[in-house]
Amino acid sequence: MPSIVPALEWLEGLAWTTAVRESAWGYPILETAHVASIVAFAGLVIMMDLRLVGLAFTYAPMTQIQRRLFPWQMAGLVPSTATGLLLCCIDPLRYYRNVFFWVKLVLFTLAGLNALAFHLKTYRMAERWDEDPHVTATARRAGAVSLVLWSATIISGRLIAYNWFG
Amino acid sequence: MKMKITLVLLAAGALCAVQQAQAHHAFAAEYDVAKPVTLSGTLTRMEWVNPHGWIYMDTKEPDGTVKHWTVETSGPSQMSRRGLKKTDFVDGMPLQVKGYQGIKDQAHANGRTLVLTDGRSFYIGSVGGPNDGADK
């Protein structure tokens, strides 16, 4: 199997990735934007999840909360993913060799699949239990799983900063 | 409902406590404050990069062998504000670095003070290090 390393070395050697990697301002701004948009995204996802598990907004219809939060969640997800991809581009080998980076990617994918499954299947039948403070067990589980997976994604993302395993 | 609020507050409180305990984790996780080192040697390479820079330098051990050190510095922004420039680092130049040794890796250190041959001295430590006055 051909290694991806030469491609990553090429990416790392580009003028613009090198410039951001060595910059006094570009990198701090990029990283701050990444974290700020994650905070906005995660906060809004947590509120949706708390409704699903029955801890918050229990007497407001579930679909209404979803409709109101969803565009704002995407307004957090799009810039956080874009800045995340940029951060990968400017220091690709560092992330390639970091175990927490791969853990984060796996958790991010799982959290995304959980959200997708909820929207495509469980949420389709939401009218039946919309006004009910206690949503169906499947939806409640989706909320709990979402809370755990997104938290774990953020924690492993933070741990990328530590060189514990080389 | 009261029960739920109490639970949420308890969870939030526990999170804050964890946060407090780890506020200075970055330094303590990797470096030993009980092992200060002063390294005098030659620069083999400097990586002027975010989020932290790296000084690679060789020192001569008392027994004549050469030790290859990896010294973590602060980032380009912090070093620039202290008056350092990327061009201050020239491969092969002599330099002195004071800092703290790594917990696991014996040739790994957290840099605090950099002294150049022209006598100029710079703080190259990052936030969260020990209060040793190096940043004054």
Would you say residue B129 lies in a domain? no
Statement: residue B98 has pLDDT above 80: yes
User: Could B51 and A31 be called an inter-chain contact, meaning their C-beta atoms sit closer than 8 Å?
Assistant: yes
Would you say residue B105 lies in a domain? yes
**How many domains are there within chain B?**
1
Q: Which residues of A touch B76 (CB under 8 A)?
A: 22-24, 27
User: Could B50 and A164 be called an inter-chain contact, meaning their C-beta atoms sit closer than 8 Å?
Assistant: no
**Which of A12, A20, A27 is most worth mutating to test chain B (most B CB atoms within 10 A of its CB)?**
A27
Q: How high is the pLDDT of residue B4?
A: 67
ipTM of the complex: 0.78
pTM of the model: 0.83
Residue of chain A minimizing CA distance to B7: A55
Cis peptide before B51 (omega within 30 of 0): yes
The residue segments making up the domain with residue B41 are 24-123
Would you say residue B101 lies in a domain? yes
At B7, the pLDDT band (50, 70, 90 cuts) reads low
User: Could B75 and A28 be called an inter-chain contact, meaning their C-beta atoms sit closer than 8 Å?
Assistant: yes
pLDDT tens digits, one per residue of B108-121 = 999 999 999 999 99
Would you say residue B17 lies in a domain? no
User: Could B86 and A22 be called an inter-chain contact, meaning their C-beta atoms sit closer than 8 Å?
Assistant: yes
Q: Which residues of A touch B51 (CB under 8 A)?
A: 27, 31, 161
Would you say residue B19 lies in a domain? no
**How many domains are there within chain A?**
1
Would you say residue B10 lies in a domain? no
- Rounded to whole angstroms, how far apart are CA atoms B60 and B40? 8
Mean pLDDT of B65-93: 96
pLDDT tens digits, one per residue of A43-88 = 999 999 999 999 999 999 999 999 999 999 999 999 999 999 999 9
User: Could B80 and A24 be called an inter-chain contact, meaning their C-beta atoms sit closer than 8 Å?
Assistant: yes
Would you say residue A74 lies in a domain? yes
**Which of B10, B22, B49 is most worth mutating to test chain A (most A CB atoms within 10 A of its CB)?**
B49
Output the domain CATH number for residue B85: 2.40.50.140
How close B65 gets to chain A, by Cα (Å)? 25
Would you say residue A166 lies in a domain? no
Number of Cβ within a 10 Å radius of residue B66: 10
At B23, the pLDDT band (50, 70, 90 cuts) reads very low
The residue segments making up the domain with residue A57 are 5-159
Statement: residue A22 has pLDDT above 60: yes
